[in-house]
Every structure is written in structure tokens, then in C-alpha cells.
Structure 1
Amino acid sequence: MKWVTLVLLGALAYVHFHLWVGDEGWFHQGDLKERLQKQLASNEDASQRNSALKAELGDLHSGGDAIGELARYELGYVGEGETFYRIVPKITTEAIAPVTEE
């Protein structure tokens, strides 16, 4: 009868070890929950980017205004009858530090 008790205690110890410390044990669950939260946040960011891209794609399909806007912004397109103005900020000598040689 003593050996049955020892075998059962050994099996119980084995099960508890794997329950708490094993690869899929209790302590590992906390790490998995943390990784899940990070992945959900990453998925939410990707979903927002996808929504913005879908909206931009819909604008491009529906009208020429979006195409003209992209051409102006990215390629510097100036349409017929439009005037292009470039505003250049004034550079002052106070903003530039003098270079001294030692």
C-alpha cells in the first residue's frame, strides 16, 4: 500500500509542476496575456491605417479632385489658370551660430 501512495504523490507532484511551471503553465499565461494585448493594439493600428487607405482609394475611384490634390501635393502640379506661390521663411543671421576654430 505504501508504494501506491508514493506513486500517487509522484503523479500529483508531476501534474502540479506542469500546471504551474510548464510550457503552458499558469506563469506562462501572464506572458501570453501581455503578448495578446500588444497584438490587439497593433491590430487596431493596422485596422485604422487600412480604413484610411480604403477611404483614400474610394476618393480616387469616385472623383478627379483627389487625384488633383495628390498631384499637387506630391508632384508639385499646377493646374491651368492657377498661380503657384512659394513662401520661403526669412533666414536671420542670429539663428546661425558662428563657427569658431580652436
Structure 2
Amino acid sequence: MKLLWSFMVVMILLLQVRLWVGEGSFAQVWSLNEAISDQRAENAELAARNELLYAEVRNLRSEQGAIEERARMNLGLIRQNETFFLVVEN
């Protein structure tokens, strides 16, 4: 009888060790859940950024004025018969 009880105690201890430390343990599951939530947050930020970029592309494709505005801001476009004023801050 003592042999059976000893065997059962050893088996229970082995199962407990696997539950807390081994592969698929609570610690590993908790770590993976944290990694998933971090990745979802990062994906949400990137999706918002991508949506802004898509909106800008749609705007540039649909309106000629948007292209001209970008050229004026980034490339310094000046049309003929326009006066250019450069404001220099101190």
C-alpha cells in the first residue's frame, strides 16, 4: 500500500512541476498572452498610420490642388507671375 501511495505522490508532483514550469505551463501561457496583447497594440498603431497614408494617397490621386499644394510646401513651387516672399525667423 505504501508503494502505491508513494507512486501516486510522485506522479502528482511530476504533474504539478509540468503545470508550473514545463512547456504549456501557466508562466508560458501568461507570457504569450502578454506578447499577443503587445503585438495587437502595435498593429493598431500601424493600422492607424496606414489609414492616414492611404487617405493622403487618395487625396493626391483625386485632386489636382492637393498635388500643387504638396509641390509648393515641399518643393518650393512658384508659378509664373507670382511673387515669392521668404519670411526668416530670428
TM-score scaled by structure 1?
Answer: 0.73
Which runs of no fewer than 5 residues in structure 1 stay unpaired? 91-102
Partners of 2:73 and 2:24 in 1: CA distance = 53
Task: Show CA shifts across 1:44-88 (max 9, x none).
Answer: 110011100110111111111121122112211112343222111
Between the two proteins, what is the percent identity of the paired residues?
Answer: 32
The answer for the alignment partner of 2:23 in structure 1 is: 23
Q: CA deviation at 1:28?
A: 2.5
Aligned length: 90
Partners of 2:27 and 2:67 in 1: CA distance = 54
The answer for the alignment partner of 2:44 in structure 1 is: 44
The answer for the alignment partner of 1:86 in structure 2 is: 86
Superposition RMSD on alpha carbons, in Å? 1.8
Q: 1:81 to 1:6 in 2, by over 3 A?
A: farther
Partners of 2:20 and 2:56 in 1: CA distance = 50
Query: Which structure shows the bigger proportion of residues in helix conformation?
Result: 2
Alignment of structure 1 residues 1-102 onto 2, 5 Å: 1-90=1-90
